[in-house]
Chains A and B, each alone.
Chain A
């Protein structure tokens, strides 16, 4: 069975501070990991995928297979980063069926 855990339901930081949203997973095979974001009054949308190894809106995430983690990081938080963030896992060949974590609400204070 696959499982995604986001230990923090709420993370509050000041503008300009570093941010790290934690994500741990359990999966016996080779997972694909994603971060989705839901801004206020907007639909859930993909932020980044581990396969792409890209930085989106200043966010990066590295897949650590040894620690089974996929933490989302940004060196300097902005107020517009305030949103709900979901880590998600797709098993190889699972047809894009994602297993989501419980979500972390990020609040960036001015």
Chain B
């Protein structure tokens, strides 16, 4: 079954450490996104990519960077983690082709705790 997979699912780290969250997908979608979920704030867009050579900042990109290694892989990095980056992070994909319905397909989320 075509899927969106995130690793790690849970991570606890310390302030100042570098962290990478990885996302891979087998849906064959060109568009990939990283969102952050905080209680009461919903999901906020961090970065998005429309293809391998395309990277765009979202609403809250400060403190984050991304890498689109291949169509199927989109990684999110925190160069120097801080406690207010403690959150649940979601990767998502979408299909811009003829079947484009505007729907996003989400991974299961990566819970990051920064102490």
Q: Which residue of B lies closest to A50 (CB)?
A: B102
Q: Does A26 contact B (CB under 8 A)?
A: no
> Chain B interface secondary structure, helix, strand, loop or mixed?
loop
| 8 A Cβ contacts from B44-80 to A | 44-45, 48, 50, 58-59
Q: Are A9 and B94 in contact (CB under 8 A)?
A: no
| 8 A Cβ contacts from B12-37 to A | 31, 33, 35
Q: Does B98 contact A (CB under 8 A)?
A: no
Once the chains are docked, how many angstroms separate the CA of A91 from the CA of B38?
23
Q: Which residue of B lies closest to A44 (CB)?
A: B106
Q: Are A100 and B43 in contact (CB under 8 A)?
A: yes
Interface size class of B (residues with CB under 8 A): 20 to 34
Contact count A vs B, C-beta below 8 Å = 54
Once the chains are docked, how many angstroms separate the CA of A97 from the CA of B102?
9
- CB of B9 to closest CB in A, whole Å: 12
In the assembled complex, which residues on chain A have CB atoms less than 8 Å from the CB atom of B45?
97-99
- CB of B62 to closest CB in A, whole Å: 18
Q: Does B41 contact A (CB under 8 A)?
A: yes
Q: Are B41 and A49 in contact (CB under 8 A)?
A: no
- CB of B23 to closest CB in A, whole Å: 13
Chain A 66-110: CB-based contact to B (< 8 A → 1; otherwise 0): 000000000000000000001000100001111111110000000
